[in-house]
Structure 1
Amino acid sequence: MIGIFNKFRIGLLPIYVMLAIFTASVSLVSRSKDDELEIQNDFPFEVKVMPVPKDVANGQTVEMRFTIQRNGNYSNTQYFIRYFQFDGQGTLRYYDEAPYVPNDLYPLPTEEFRLYYTSASAVSQSFEVWISDSFGNEKQLSFEFNSSD
């Protein structure tokens, strides 16, 4: 008689295993939208700029040092730069590359970089630099130089 019960228990084992797998599957599939795992890849950032001179002479070049500081780290984030000069005249360039065209968007290959502004004016100059990332976050930086001629 005991042998019959042991066979019956062993016969139910596959059913118990299948029931456990089914229960686990249903609970994983039936998660609500609110319970979904959120993967964050959009991290706001700050831009730090070393101090720059207040005065610039016509033809003088000023070095500007920038650092992008992330609030998180997502390896595929790309950064871009554009600028617009609204007072005076001058050129802005990345290291020794060709000067930027105002309002055109350029990729930034690093998060620490230097820009060089060369004055082409004997009056005060003002311009804005916009740094954005591939997720639409954007920072605006304003620069003003007095003429030293």
Structure 2
Amino acid sequence: MTIFFKQFKRGLLPAYVLLAILTSSVTLVSCSKDDKLEVQNDFPFEVQVMPIPKDVLNGQTVEIRMAIKRSGNYSDTQYFIRYFQFDGQGTLRYSNESAYLPNDLYPLPTKQFRLYYTSSSTVSQSFDVWISDSFGNEKKLTFQFNSSD
């Protein structure tokens, strides 16, 4: 019986050596000093806009419902809005706040919000709204209203 154990041990010796080599190589590769945990915090987004009227009267206010849809979720992402009117005249504001100044950057407190555009013109009006996040991602939305008599 002792001969059996000696032959059994000799047969297992190469397997033990191979197992030790594999274990040490996996340990050395997985413990590299350059490995850093990468946390993704920059997620692209889309902006959804509910349908709005095509025509607006001078002095009329149009509600624009918008929602930011993120592809991922990073809680510290901040969103901002700015606009530029290139045809006609009017004002754009968030909720009951003061009217936005063109090309100024304003923080957006929520991901779902309503903007209010008030026409001050008897001609067609066009303006761009830019929504950006704290990582430099940006979406441009163009709005056009025909003058209505």
Q: Which residue of 1 aligns with 2:86?
A: 86
Distance 1:27 1:51 in 2: 53
Q: Which residue of 1 aligns with 2:97?
A: 97
Distance 2:148 2:70 in 1: 36
Distance 2:73 2:80 in 1: 17
The alignment yields a C-alpha RMSD, in angstroms, of 1.6
TM-score normalised by the chain length of structure 2: 0.79
Runs of 5+ consecutive residues of structure 1 not aligned to the other structure:
1-23
Shift of residue 107, structure 1, vs aligned partner: 0.1
- Which stretches of structure 1, 4 residues or longer, exceed 4 Å deviation after superposition? 24-27
Distance 2:137 2:148 in 1: 36
Distance 2:103 2:112 in 1: 21
Q: Which residue of 2 aligns with 1:69?
A: 69
1:50-90: CA deviation from partner (whole Å, max 9, x where unpaired): 00000000000000000000000000000000000000000
Q: Which residue of 2 aligns with 1:112?
A: 112
Q: Which residue of 2 aligns with 1:5?
A: none
Runs of 5+ consecutive residues of structure 2 not aligned to the other structure:
1-26
Shift of residue 38, structure 1, vs aligned partner: 1.4
1:83-126: CA deviation from partner (whole Å, max 9, x where unpaired): 00000000000001000000000000000000000000000000
Paired AA for residue 119 in structure 1:
S
Distance 2:92 2:114 in 1: 10
Shift of residue 25, structure 1, vs aligned partner: 9.1
Q: Which residue of 2 aligns with 1:145?
A: 145
Shift of residue 26, structure 1, vs aligned partner: 9.5
Pairing 1:123–2:135 present: no
Paired AA for residue 86 in structure 2:
F
Paired AA for residue 57 in structure 1:
L
TM-score normalised by the chain length of structure 1: 0.79
Q: How many residues align?
A: 123
Pairing 1:47–2:57 present: no
Q: Which residue of 2 aligns with 1:56?
A: 56
